Amino acid sequence: MEEYRAIFPFPSDTEGDLVFTEGDTVLVYWAQDNGWWYGEVDSKQGWFPGSFVEVNKVTSARNRLYIYTLSSQCYFYSCYFYSCYS
């Protein structure tokens, strides 16, 4: 699951579609090859065109930094406990 930001509103009356406005945060669960994605906004789930959203760059960068920090700590601890420094 990744966090995206709506760059266009998607006002739909079709059952099963995910309605959102420009600027909303959309959690994307999966994307189909035909361009329709499945996600969530404010605890509501449904389908929407993937071209209406873009990756939330702030959240994505924060997640990459967090993962890097965790992997660096794991490397340090594994080296410490398994004598990488000897």
pLDDT at 78: 44
* For residues 66-81, average pLDDT: 49
Instruction: Please say if the pLDDT value at position 19 is more than 50.
Output: yes
The C-alpha atoms of residue 31 and residue 75 are separated, in whole angstroms, by: 33
Q: Are residues 48 and 9 in the same domain?
A: yes
What does pLDDT average to over the chain?
80
Domain that holds residue 17: 1-55
- At residue 38, the pLDDT reads 98
In tens, the pLDDT along 1-12 reads 899 999 999 999
* Tens-place pLDDT, residues 57-72: 765 555 555 555 555 5
One domain, residues 75 and 41? no
Residues 6+ apart with CB under 8 A from 67: none
State the total domains in the chain.
2
Does 46 lie in the same domain as 65? no
